[in-house]
Amino acid sequence: MIRRPKWHTLTIVCLLVCLTFGVACYLICLSSPNRITEENANRIQPGMRLEEVEQILGPERDDTYGEAVVFHPPSIGLVLTKNGPLYQRKHWIGREIVITVEMNSRTATVHSVWTSEPLPVDLSAWERIQNRVKALLNR
């Protein structure tokens, strides 16, 4: 009978635990509903507060893990006040659609909403892994 060292058994156990954890995380990510959709973008109306928008879309995020470029929609122009810009943009980036919400800084309400398509960026495999790990750590 061959007797294996304890570290060998411990290594196999650790690998199995890591593999199980990785598969579980992957399945959880796949099972979460996609809230960044055209239908949900159409539900956002001027005058809504950020909390109401986040109830529809969830928190502001990039579901492409940095693998897409967002072209900013046309602007009403940069309006500066003594307290900073009058409008701030928030982006919800999905694999099929980008939702940009322009918020009025004074009233903290939605001023306008745009949708566009994300344009993919050609990243190396290592850069994709780094972006996904950063995104998971920021959740």
Query: What pLDDT, in 10s, does the model give residues 50-61?
Result: 999 999 999 998
Q: Quick one: which H or E segment has residue 136?
A: helix 125-137
- Give the residues across from 104 on adjacent strands: 87, 109
Q: What is the mean pLDDT of the chain?
A: 81
Residue 85: what pLDDT? 76
Residue 16: what pLDDT? 85
Model confidence at 134: pLDDT above 80: no
* Kind of pairing between the strands at 84-85 and 87-93: unpaired
pTM for the structure as a whole: 0.64
Tell me the per-residue pLDDT of 73-117, one tens digit each, with 9 for 90 and over: 665 556 666 777 788 889 998 888 999 999 998 899 999 998 988
E strand spans, 9-135: 68-69, 80-81, 84-85, 87-93, 98-104, 109-116, 119-120
Model confidence at 43: pLDDT above 80: yes
